[in-house]
A and B are shown apart, each in its own frame.
Chain A
Amino acid sequence: MTVTSGPPAAEGFRLSQLIYDTRYRSTTIQVVALFAFMLGVGWLISNAAQNLAALGKDFNFSFLWNTAGYDVNQRLLEYSSQSTHGRAAVLGILNTLVLAVVGCATATVLGVLAGVARLSKNWIVAKLMSVYVEAFRNVPLLIWIIIVVAVVNESLPAPRDFRDVETGAIVLTNRGAYFPEPLFSRGLGDVDLGLFKVSLDFLAVVALLVGGFYASGRIGRAADAKQAATGVRPNVLWFRLSAVLLPLIAFLVATGFHLGYPELKGFNFAGGTYVRDSFLGLWIALSLYTGAFIAESVRAGILAVSKGQTEAAFALGIRPSQTMNLVILPQALRVIVPPLISQYLNLTKNTSLAIAVGYMDATGTLGGITLNQTGREMETLLLLMGFYLVISLTISFVMNLYNERIKLRER
């Protein structure tokens, strides 16, 4: 090894100084570690390239534009077996995202409730929550998913059991739940955005809601201003309500809005919004499982707030529920949010277990059937890793922004 650089020493530079001289030692260690790391990476890449070459395989992503040839059950975009592998992958990614978003939301609610309840003075409630937390934290998630889906499959009636039975707006079968769907008899149609279609009715409803709430906010602020100026607050509740509701109702009546109920047709129910058994099962299992972990973070966060805070609040005559909401939880959030981020990341990555119960997430389409039919293990798995990486980093980034906002400002 030759050394080309380095600060000149007064009595000349000796190689052994790289190790024994504290001025250079840490740099030496870092340079060696960097070399070792680069060697490792280089070896991995070369090994992969060598083995691909040995198998006679090339490395390209053109398969994404080939016909997929298989069907996907839960489709948030237009898709048929004649669509491309790329589109199937997008479909899977959307399914993963939907599951992750609703899962994180319910897990948070469950976790906060369970975490607070576990500290309850009511012995039964506290112990029940301990049982919940311990049972879900200490059994592998895959087992919970399979149990929940099996319970849905085995306990609810099959669609054919509903023959000659009057069904209402909501139908629960062992293939999932059916809810009424919004329909417009004089709808505005769809707008084609290339990749997917968006219902104009849906966009109009969203626009009216946003506009309504904005107008309502303006009315509220005007009332505030008047109250500040005159000391009398005008009653604007009805104005605010009508600003939101009237345009919406007018639009819904004009477009002939009605609810479509599910009806048994052939083997399955038709019409209505179909939430599959696999989705329901995963949603419940993921929420309960992650909720148990969040409950522990919440409990830790609450316990981290000094008891003096509670006592001070009580001394001021604040009721226990308000003490929790206004005094304890805001301070506890500082401790809760960082572990919460990693729970969200866990939940998102855990959605990849979905294929065990037949939910077509990204692992099921891109990393499952596409991988198998095209034989492009390297490419599909790299894409999949990239996708999970991007999602996880996005969640971390957003949650870190939030954490930054609620952090205790020390002066």
Chain B
Amino acid sequence: MKSTYILGAMAVAGLAASAASAATLDDVKAAGTIKCGVSTGLAGFSNPDAAGKWEGFDVSVCRALAAAVLGDAEKVTYVPTTGKTRFTALASGEVDILARNTTWTFSRDTDLGFDFVGVNYYDGQGFMVPKSLGVSSAKELDGATVCIQTGTTTELNLADFFRANNMTYEPVPIETNAEAQQKYLANACDAYTTDASGLAATRATFETPADHIILPEIISKEPLGPVVRHGDNQWGDVAMWTLNALIAAEEYGVTKANVDDMKANSNNPEVRRLLGVEGDLGAMIGLDSEFAYRAIKSEGNYGEIFDAFLGPNTAIGLERGLNAQWTQGGLLYAPPFR
């Protein structure tokens, strides 16, 4: 049988399969589209609109990236993933980037073999309960039935929270947001737990959002950000600096509307470098100098994206809070473009 193995080895060497090869940027350019992993539908973050077109806060990250890399924000192939399938989808190369409210944790960054390219939303896990339940604090939830989305850090935080407070609960793990929502609304669970932003987004889709409250306890830190595969630093850099460009643009007052004007007339050297008028930052990450200009032109800066999908004027109605610029007392802080 020895010859079989030798033949097998030769065949394998010849085929040199490479589902997860290193140069994602080249693959994306060759394919002419970015495969973007999104949620299966979470209002405000990634949700298909009435015409079936994906939109939302996380979707904008993919669109900005497509504008930066391929010059056209429409060149994105959306791959809906559940909390459970998302990492397998990314690891196997089914998606190039995961923009799907994914929490940045130590083990995901290291053991799972991914790289988080930054944080696009600072979040924390909370609880939503019907007002009629008469509960005002998560500490009163002893013995409650709690609906959770599986495949998230949520179930670990939940177990820790109840253990730390010496309380019991009945976990009901559900695969998708829609199913969990149906169970929660039918009172098959007393409480629904996920990231506070997700709760607000879910509540916004209820018939009577005012009948439900989000409890004040935030039981975890959930920095959500886009994820790429570990080991492809070039692609990671492209994603990271596209995200940073959106954040920096807000800091320097570059908007979708005035980006052309800024590009032509701004005297701020940082803005000129960001928009590719001075220096050649784009070439350093394998793109042209106008990558950030195109991303901003297509999607607007971070603040504009936030206001369009999550801000106080939307159904979700989230305040900026921790997600304000560092100059406004928030945590958003883009490293300098130089």
Binding site for B on A (CB under 8 A): 35, 38-39, 41-43, 46-47, 50-51, 54-57, 69-73, 80-82, 146, 150, 153-154, 158, 160, 174-175, 265-268, 270, 277-278, 355-358, 360, 364, 368-369, 371-375, 377
Contact = CB atoms under 8 A, between A and B. Distances in A.
Contact of B111 (A46, A357, A375): A375
Contacts of A371: 84
Contacts of B12: 42-43, 46-47, 50
Contacts of A357: 174, 179
10 contacts: A47-B12, A51-B17, A69-B160, A70-B156, A71-B159, A355-B175, A358-B174, A369-B151, A372-B83, A372-B87
Contacts of A277: 188
B84 A35 contact: no
Contacts of B179: 146, 356-358
Interface string B151-162: 110011011101
A153 B12 CA distance: 53
Given A51-B20, A71-B171, A355 B8 contact: no
Interface in B120-165: 133, 141-145, 147, 150-152, 155-156, 158-160, 162-163
A391 B173 CA distance: 25
Given A54-B21, A55-B113, A43 B144 contact: no
Nearest to A42: B8
Nearest to A49: B12
Nearest to B186: A153
Given A56-B230, A73-B172, A368-B150, A35 B155 contact: no
Interface of B: 1, 4-5, 7-9, 11-12, 15, 17-22, 83-84, 87-88, 91, 107-108, 111-113, 133, 141-145, 147, 150-152, 155-156, 158-160, 162-163, 169-175, 179, 182-183, 186-188, 190, 229-231
Contacts of A358: 147, 172-174, 179, 183
Contacts, number: 150
A133 to B, nearest CB: 28
Given A153-B186, A369-B151, A46 B9 contact: yes
A42 B217 CA distance: 53
Given A71-B169, A174-B186, A267-B143, A39 B113 contact: no
A69 B143 CA distance: 19
B173 A355 contact: yes
Given A43-B8, A175-B145, A153 B183 contact: yes
Nearest to A157: B187
B84 A368 contact: yes
A198 B262 CA distance: 75
B151 A368 contact: yes
Contacts of A175: 145, 170, 188
A70 B15 contact: no
Contacts of B188: 153, 158, 174-175, 277
Given A46-B12, A174-B187, A55 B20 contact: yes
Contacts of A373: 107, 156
A265 B22 CA distance: 57
B145 A268 contact: yes
B231 A54 contact: yes
A265 B143 contact: yes
Contacts of A35: 4, 7
Contacts of B19: 47, 51
Nearest to A37: B4
